[in-house]
Amino acid sequence: MILTSLQTNQLSEQATAWYWSFLLATSAREAEPMLDFFNTDATLQLNNRVPAHGRRAIGAELSRYWDGIAGVEHEPITILGTDHQFSVEMFAHYTLKSGEKIIVPASGFLDRNSDGLIQSLRLFGDVRPVFKASA
């Protein structure tokens, strides 16, 4: 994770630590540890795709997504909102299976329930160059 570009962060220390753990779990590209951050009936929407509902569907969606890349590292720029509802601007640094690197500007909108689990996550970024290059 690249934190040197973070300009604004409105989260508490606890929520920030939780979010960093979430991003590290995402970068590890393993569905099971990642799904521990989601409520059982959570939704995940990637760009304009139909949202995935529930942990199993979210795990399947993420596995399909991760299968096309060798890695991803996140560089948050701005985090605005509260500990339970916030948005993030970032750069996603993708490493393709060929070794090529592509940086994608992205944004995310995250809602956490009272237990601190993700209830809704919406991610937006033009990943066409990533998956076109990896095809």
Do residues 119 and 113 make contact, with C-beta atoms less than 8 angstroms apart?
Answer: yes
pLDDT single digits (tens) 50-61:
999 999 999 999
The radius of gyration computed from the CA coordinates of the chain, to the nearest angstrom, equals 14
pLDDT at 128: 87
pLDDT single digits (tens) 19-67:
999 999 999 988 888 999 999 999 999 999 999 999 999 999 988 888 8
Chosen CATH of 8-134 out of 1.20.810.10, 3.10.450.50, 3.60.20.10, 3.40.50.150: 3.10.450.50
pLDDT at 81: 97
Which residue matches tokens 């160059």? 129
Query: Confidence class of residue 113 from pLDDT cuts 50, 70 and 90?
Result: very high
pLDDT at 99: 93
Do residues 92 and 125 make contact, with C-beta atoms less than 8 angstroms apart?
Answer: yes
Mean pLDDT of 2-15: 93
Query: Confidence class of residue 133 from pLDDT cuts 50, 70 and 90?
Result: low
The pLDDT of residue 134 is above 60: no
pLDDT single digits (tens) 60-93:
998 888 888 999 999 999 999 999 999 999 999 9
Sign of the four-CA dihedral 64, 66, 69, 70: negative
User: The pTM is what?
Assistant: 0.91
- Residue 73 and residue 71: Cα distance in Å, rounded? 7
- If we measure between CA atoms, which residue out of 27, 56, 26, 24 comes closest to residue 43? 56
Domain boundaries, the chain: 8-134
